[in-house]
Amino acid sequence: MTDISKAPEIQKIDIKKIFYEKSPRLARLIPGFVYAYLKKILHLDFVNGYMERHGDKMGLEFLEPAYREFNVKMEVIGEEHLPAEGRFLLVANHPLGGFDGSMLIYIMRQHYPKVIFLVNDILMNLKNLEEVFVPINKHGGQSRESVKQLDAAYRSEMQILSFPSGMVSRKIKGNIQDLEWQKNFILKAVQYGRDVIPIHVSGRNSNFFYRLARLRKFFGIRWNLEMLYLPDETYKQRNKTFIFTIGKPIAHTVFDHSHSPMEWAARVRDLVYRLPENKEASLRDEKK
């Protein structure tokens, strides 16, 4: 569904200008080659060109050209598990860092007229996707307005997508996998009577991304330095095929007191990683 009422004003991203607006004193101390490097890894020439070509579009119409320009293909397995009617929480692993989310929106909009994504509130600056984003503040409390907006979304007939890990997958014990899934989606599924649809997304970032994450952790750096490279990682996904495996819906009544919400979240996470081998997998199949 495209909002034709007000397309955002198209403005080029100028990294140096942004620094000067945020902190002129710091901006003057940054060497020119650092600005050039940031412009390169953020692929601002491509981003600004894309905005020139498609910045007047909103929602799905803004996303579609990206898949053509990146020459990516999406293969969906288990589409029959998407009920025609109902209110669902669609939860997935998060291997890529943004591109996977946009593809999920695109796929789900082929089945449901209204799909929204729970995202970091920083992404609300991307005005072209305002109609499909609902903000979550990951670094502080939710404002009263945000709480009301979330409550309205959960009570609505819209389908809700989310990445329960809240972070991009890392390399853990040699495998690309999510960090611990948070319990919030379990609590919301029960509270609002929404069944959960698990989805597995194929794909990975570069070895550089995972090595940088390990080094940052080794040196005790709290700021997620590797996240700065996610635009570059997205650019590396060109000419690839991504497989989305959709599992069977899990009734919200399944999430009873036999396990804590965190334990249920962990079990759904484990189920998601079993889907590529068996799209019919369920919580009952897991190893005891």
Q: Are residues 26 and 124 in the same domain?
A: no
24 and 92 belong to one structural domain: no
Asked, for residue 116, whether it belongs to a domain, the answer is yes
CATH number at residue 271: 3.40.1130.10
Asked whether residue 29 is assigned to any structural domain, the reply reads yes
Give the number of domains in the chain.
2
Is 165 within 8 Å of 180 (Cβ atoms)? Answer: yes
For residues 41 and 104, state if they share a domain: no
pTM score: 0.90
d(CA 227, CA 128): 22
Task: Please tell me the distance from the alpha carbon of residue 191 to that of residue 226, in angstroms, as a whole number.
Answer: 35
**What is the distance between the terminal CA atoms of the chain, rounded to a whole angstrom?**
44
Find the DSSP H helices in the chain: 15-22, 24-29, 32-41, 44-54, 60-70, 99-109, 144-155, 184-192, 207-218, 230-235, 261-274
Answer yes or no: do 16 and 150 share one domain: no
**216 and 85 housed in the same domain:** yes
The answer on 243 and 139 residing in a single domain is: yes
One domain, residues 52 and 80: no
Indicate whether 69 belongs to any domain.
no
pLDDT tens, per residue, the chain with 288 residues: 444 445 666 778 898 998 898 889 999 999 999 999 999 999 999 999 999 999 999 988 999 999 999 999 999 999 999 999 999 999 999 999 889 999 999 999 999 999 999 988 777 778 889 889 998 876 556 678 888 989 999 999 999 999 999 999 999 999 999 999 999 999 999 999 999 999 999 999 999 999 999 999 999 998 889 999 999 999 999 999 999 999 999 999 999 999 999 999 999 999 999 999 999 999 987 654
Residue owning tokens 């940052």:
216
- Full domain range(s) for residue 270: 74-285
Both tokens of 16, joined, read 């140096």
Q: Are residues 32 and 159 in the same domain?
A: no
Looking at the fold, whether 79 and 108 belong to one and the same domain comes out as yes
Nearest by Cα to 156 from 108, 115, 119, 197: 115
Task: Take residue 169 and report the two structure tokens written for it.
Answer: 């997958």
68 is a domain residue: no
Whether residue 84 sits in one domain with residue 8 = no
Q: Is residue 66 assigned to a domain?
A: no
CB atoms within 10 A of CB 209: 21
Closest-CA residue to 76 (of 99, 115, 113, 106) = 106
Indicate if 80 and 50 belong to the same structural domain.
Answer: no
User: How far is it, in rounded angstroms, from Cα 86 to Cα 193?
Assistant: 10
User: Does residue 61 fall inside a structural domain?
Assistant: no
My answer on whether 159 and 29 are in the same domain is: no
